[in-house]
Structure formats: C-alpha cells, structure tokens
Amino acid sequence: MKLPYPLILASTSKYRGALLAQLGHQFESISPGVDEDQLKSQNFTPTQIATELAKLKALAVFKKRPEACVIGSDQVCVLNGELLSKPGSKENAILQLQKMQGIHHELITAVTILYPQGEINFHNRTLLFMRPLTLSKITRYIEEDLPLDCAGSYKLESKGIKLFEKIEMDDHTSIIGLPLIQLNNHLLKIGFPI
C-alpha cells in the first residue's frame, strides 16, 4: 500500500509507537526534543498544555520533514486541577496514588497532525475512578508494575487496571497516549488507506 505521505510519530515513546503500529502503516519515530516542563510551568489549563505540547512536538519534527505527515501527541493527568507528571521514583509514585485513591481524575490526550496541506488538532478526555487503596496495596502495585515513566503512576495496559472501579471513555487507546479511533478517522480523510 502506498501512503500519501511518509508517516512520522514525533515521539520515541514505546507506548505510542506500539499503538500507532496497530494501524498497519510504516512509520518513523523521531524525538521532537521539546521542553515540556517549560510549558507546564506557565499558567495554562490542562487542556491547553496538552494541546500546545502536541503542536510543539509535531512542529519540531515537521520543520525538518515538511514532506511528511507528522503526528504529535501529549497527555496530561489531572487531579482536582493539579497536573500529575511522571513520578520518576517509587516514592513519588506512592504519593501520587495516595492522592488519587477513592476519587476520580482525568486524562487529557491531545493530538496534532501536520501534513503538507494542513493541520488537524483534537483531544480526548477519559475519566478514571480509582478504588480506595491501602498503602500496602499501592506499594505492592508499584513494585509489580514499575509505572515510574507514566503520568499518574499507573499502567492501565498492564496491572494498573486493577486499581480502578470504573473508567469512562470513548476510545480505550487514548488512555495509553494516542487515541487511535480519532487518529485513524483523520488519517483516512487525508488519504491514508484503511
């Protein structure tokens, strides 16, 4: 199958790469080299942060490869208006999960598609209801799944699913970082095969 443009994922995330591979198109993964912390420190809403970061990532790669279709994506985890970043350590992961247990929080995933004829932006919201958890259950989960590189300190595609009572979403792939249903709908419109 001939693609209308070379396809590039502006990310080296193994999670996003595995998701995009499900669509069956050949693609490259290129690191956008965007400073996410600088934007997150500004006074934007969580949706604005995710949207701007997705745009910046796509644009950083598109400037180098303007003949391609570049996909940039970003996800933020929001609890009562507070952004929860990747914990980086077991201690931080425990603190994040303790804050979320027994209540709901939100994942906002934003995507920007840049291609020679235009730009497409969209975002997806997921509500997650975490069950009440004891410190020992939280610690055991973190030891088992090591979600230190995941915003919110859990991996829903792995053992993290057992932490939740309910998840409300319209695209299950969005929770991992790339809403494939919406993405594929837009790729089809610009000429990518099914």
The per-residue pLDDT for range 48-81, each reduced to its tens digit, is 999 999 999 999 999 999 999 999 999 999 999 8
Task: Identify the pLDDT of residue 15.
Answer: 87
CA distance 113 to 40: 21
* Fold exhibited by the domain 7-189: Maf protein (3.90.950)
Phi, psi dihedral angles at 138 (to 5 degrees): -60, -45
Task: Identify the pLDDT of residue 21.
Answer: 96
| pLDDT, tens digit, 9 for 90 and up, residues 92-113 | 999 999 999 899 999 999 999 9
Task: Identify the pLDDT of residue 176.
Answer: 85
State which residues of the chain have pLDDT below 50.
Answer: none
The SS3 of residue 153 is coil
Task: Identify the pLDDT of residue 110.
Answer: 97
Structural tokens at position 194: 């099914």
Phi, psi dihedral angles at 120 (to 5 degrees): -130, 135
Question: Position of tokens 């995710």?
Answer: 50
Catalytic pick among 35, 74, 145, 149:
74
Task: Identify the pLDDT of residue 1.
Answer: 67
Residue 149 bears catalytic tag: no
Model confidence, pTM: 0.88
CA distance 15 to 151: 12
Beta-carbon contacts of 59 under 8 Å, excluding residues fewer than 6 positions away, are 72, 112, 114
Bridge pairing between strands 118-130 and 164-168: antiparallel
Task: Identify the pLDDT of residue 150.
Answer: 87
Give the DSSP H/E element, type plus range, for residue 152: none
CA distance 143 to 91: 11
